[in-house]
Amino acid sequence: MLRTNQHAERPENLERWLLTYADMITLLTAFFLMLYSMSVMSRGKFTQLATSVRSGFGGAVYGGASMLNGGGAHTLRSGILPDSQQQSYQEAMGNLRRYVEQHHLNGKVSTREDRRGVIISLVSDGMLFARGQAELGPGSVEVLSRVARILRSVPNDVAIEGHTCDLPIRTAQFPSNWELSTARAGTVLRYLTEKERLPSGRFMAAGYAETRPLAPNSSEANRARNRRVDIVILRTDAQREADLQRRAELRRIAVDEAPELEIGGPADSPSPAKGSTPPRSARE
């Protein structure tokens, strides 16, 4: 009985709460460190992300150079396409790239990207049309059939756009470049819908004459480049929304990763006092 009473009368440890408090502080510290590490991206990771976004269409974003010339193929971004369509799209793009390389058409077939989508540019001279004409030449079938495979692999709408150089035309059939460019766009559209049997509801055609050149019309080489038909794979609403979100995220990361001026650097260096003599190296 005496032992029991002595055990019951032992003083209580009033500092046990410190263990719980210390555990809570440790967990909170770990939690906020985890949040901080998730919110901060190193410059290397940002570069990888930017490269990944650029390669989403196979190259430079918005106005980049041709990817058929540089080895790489544009791909529709944002994960909207199922895996099966993505694979067939990549294979069709690769098929067109190999055809361009094998037939030395790097200056006549190119791809690029703008805000609307992927643009496949086909130079008219010597491949699609004769000068001043809107009937497909014999060399156009092979390249258009490969373009049709690309269009068949995706569900996106397609815009066919005819372009000319600034040299005027005045014939009974084509009073101006407006009629010529529109007729060429319509001819390509008819081939894709009638010969390749692509759904006509996906297509639209427009002629822009000489109003949207790729290069200044200052030389015959530039004029030949501007005489072209652009086949634009238009982004879907979901793809445009996903791209806007991606670009907003890139801007946020770029702001977070902007290098700060170091103390004592050029921005913080005091300007020399008025009338003071600059050092010898500066005078020289």
How far apart CA 268 and CA 284 sit, in angstroms, is 24
Residue 3 identity (one-letter amino acid): R
pLDDT of 182 reads 97
pLDDT computed for residue 42 by the predictor: 57
What pLDDT score was predicted for residue 126?
83
Over residues 19-41, the pLDDT tens digits come to: 888 889 999 998 888 888 766 65
Domain 83-242 CATH assignment equals 3.30.1330.60: yes
Its pTM stands at 0.63
pLDDT of residue 280: 45
Cα(92)–Cα(52) distance, rounded to whole angstroms?
21
- pLDDT one-digit tens code per residue, 60-70: 333 334 445 44
pLDDT value of position 283: 41
Contacts for 252 with CB less than 8 Å, ≥ 6 apart: none
How far apart (Å, rounded) are the C-alpha atoms in residues 28 and 25? Answer: 5
Per-residue burial over 245-272, b = 16 or more CB atoms within 10 Å of its CB, e = otherwise: ebeeeeeebeeeeeeeeeeeeeeeeeee
pLDDT of 60 reads 37
Return the domain boundaries, the chain.
83-242
What does the alpha-carbon distance between residue 100 and residue 278 come to, in Å, rounded to a whole number?
A: 61
Q: Would strands 117-123 and 203-207 be described as parallel, antiparallel, or unpaired?
A: unpaired
Residue with tokens 């989508």: 117
Residues in the chain, pLDDT under 50: 55-67, 69-73, 78-79, 260-284
The whole-number pLDDT of residue 21 equals 85
Residue range 172-202, pLDDT digits in tens: 999 999 999 999 999 999 999 999 999 999 9
Distance CA(232)–CA(247), nearest Å, equals 21
- Position 265 scores a pLDDT of 44
